[in-house]
Amino acid sequence: MQKPFWKSSTWFSAPTFNTYRQGRFIVAELIAPHRVLTTSSCVGGVSSDIRHLVNHQSCEASGHSERGAEIHKLGLDGYHQSVCEELGLSAEATAVMGTAANMIYAAHEIAEHGELRVDAIVTAGVEGNAVCAGDPAQWIETPAGWNKLTHAAGTINSIVMFNQPLKPEAHIRSLVTITEGKTAALMELGISSRYSQDLATGTGTDQVCVAAPEAKDCYAYSATSQHSKLGELLGLAVRKATKQALRWQNGLEPSHTRSVVHALRRFGFSEAAFLDAMRLRLSEASMSLLEKNRNAVLYEPQVAAAAYAFASVLDRVRFGVIPASTARDVLRYQSATFAASLSTQVEKWYTFWQQLDVCMDRPLDAVYDALASGWTAKWESKG
């Protein structure tokens, strides 16, 4: 019998499964029977019949409308069937997850302690679909079907493999730890929701497959919470794999997220808006210089720190932690720090504070004013 095309490229092997990466597919082949918990549309839920876990790049993240329409026309069942047919796998024994992320950017992380091992295989993209739990929904499902479908470019797909049996309650509890590990990665990277002013907790299309071997003669672990060592390994593997996948797919690493745009994006700050605002505030010569050196402003470490502080204060005001009556004054302090940091003249902080003001209806105007003042002081003033 001819070997399936996807078996021509083994990615890595583990004691209880083998993983293959070929083209637009990652296939985890379970060596022995496993209990699988999955969000896969056609075999979703808990099953002991799953033998293959598949992550599939179904389309590109943007501009691939024809492919998207084709998948939508197939429907969930048809899409599942088509992927399994292409791979030559049983549709009833295969869990399929779809994404726009490139499989070559998948991250694999292992966490081990003694006889315990957790493997996390993650693909991730958040540019178009990052969302915070509780954000306004873009889709609605009714008994007659979905009455609105918006294109969503971005998904975090996770395949998690345990090398030891789990009790059913621990298997279900692992979903909580996996989700919190993923969210911890997003918080560490400061990912903004695309639908609100909140930080993202995931994307609206995240999927997961969690497999643990079934071995009646082996001890079954009862805890996957963060208080257990197995839960620690699980959270660590998922968190690290999610960060690594986002690094490759979206370029999201610390040196990239150290920017004013990244810190204030969820409040409407963008590079284009920043440049437009500067044109209204700078002389022609200063503006020309800034356009040629914009990253010297947007990625300057102390300026970025002020931006994150400004965003944090806005959050605390929104959540009622800081009284609204003091918000203007506190944000004014942060604005003066913007200007003093960019100007490299920290001793003039009080002078900047006297010059700046904050309108709570348009708080970013204070940021633009501060950056313009700092840039002008750096290159047009004496000293």
CATH number at residue 234: 3.60.70
Radius of gyration in angstroms for the set of CA atoms belonging to the chain, rounded to a whole number: 25
Q: For 275-297, what is the mean pLDDT?
A: 96
Same structural domain, 98 and 246: yes
Looking at 200, 222, 252, the residue that finishes a domain is 252
**What was the pLDDT predicted at 151?**
47
How many domains does the chain divide into?
2
Question: Are 322 and 309 contacting, i.e. CB atoms less than 8 angstroms apart?
Answer: no
Same structural domain, 246 and 262: no
Looking at 213, 233, 252, the residue that finishes a domain is 252
Residue with tokens 């700050």: 269
Question: Are 375 and 383 contacting, i.e. CB atoms less than 8 angstroms apart?
Answer: no
Looking at 252, 279, 303, the residue that finishes a domain is 252
Same structural domain, 28 and 46: yes
Same structural domain, 320 and 340: yes
End-to-end CA distance of the chain: 79
pTM of the predicted structure, to 2 decimals: 0.87
pLDDT band at 129 (very low <50, low <70, confident <90, very high): confident
243: helix, coil or strand? helix
Q: Which tens digit of pLDDT belongs to each residue from 350-363? A: 999 999 999 999 99
Who's near 222: CB < 8 A, 6+ residues apart? 166, 167, 169, 170
Q: Which domain holds residue 356?
A: 258-379
198 vs 201: CA distance, rounded Å? 9
Paired residues of 116 in beta bridges: 113
Same structural domain, 135 and 273: no
Q: Which tens digit of pLDDT belongs to each residue from 249-267? A: 998 988 889 999 999 999 9
pLDDT band at 134 (very low <50, low <70, confident <90, very high): confident
Same structural domain, 109 and 123: yes
Burial of 161 (0-12, 13-18, 19+ CB in 10 A): buried
Same structural domain, 18 and 140: yes
Q: For 89-115, what is the mean pLDDT?
A: 95
Same structural domain, 274 and 247: no
* Helix H or strand E segment including 141: strand 140-142
Same structural domain, 104 and 229: yes
Same structural domain, 222 and 262: no
Q: For 291-314, what is the mean pLDDT?
A: 96
Question: Are 17 and 29 contacting, i.e. CB atoms less than 8 angstroms apart?
Answer: yes
pLDDT band at 171 (very low <50, low <70, confident <90, very high): very high
pLDDT exceeds cutoff 60 at 242: yes
Same structural domain, 246 and 346: no
Same structural domain, 159 and 75: yes
